[in-house]
Amino acid sequence: MVRFGDKYKQWNAAFDAGYTAALGTPYITLHDEEIVHPLKEVDAAAMAWATTPEQVVGILKHVMRD
């Protein structure tokens, strides 16, 4: 999971997302809807994007089902 937001260093999160994508490792982005447009390429490479930690948990539960 890669989290973007006011309290997080955006360039670090963007680097982590790019590195993860380059490795072919699935990831989930977590950020407000306000920054969907600037992160459109990051979100496009992600398995999913969420706006709340609860949504991330729901996504993880869904993909980890037997």
Q: pLDDT tens-digit profile of 13-44?
A: 999 999 999 999 999 999 999 888 989 999 99
Q: In what order do the strands lie in the sheet with 2-3?
A: 2-3, 28-30, 48-50
pTM: 0.85
Domain map of the chain by residue range?
2-63
Q: What is the pLDDT of residue 5?
A: 84
**Residues in contact with 43: Cβ distance below 8 Å, sequence separation at least 6, in sequence order:** 29, 36, 49
Cα dihedral across residues 15, 58, 25, 49: positive or negative: negative
* Helical segments of the chain, H only: 10-23, 40-45, 53-63
The Cα 35–Cα 24 span in angstroms is 24
Amino acid present at 18: G
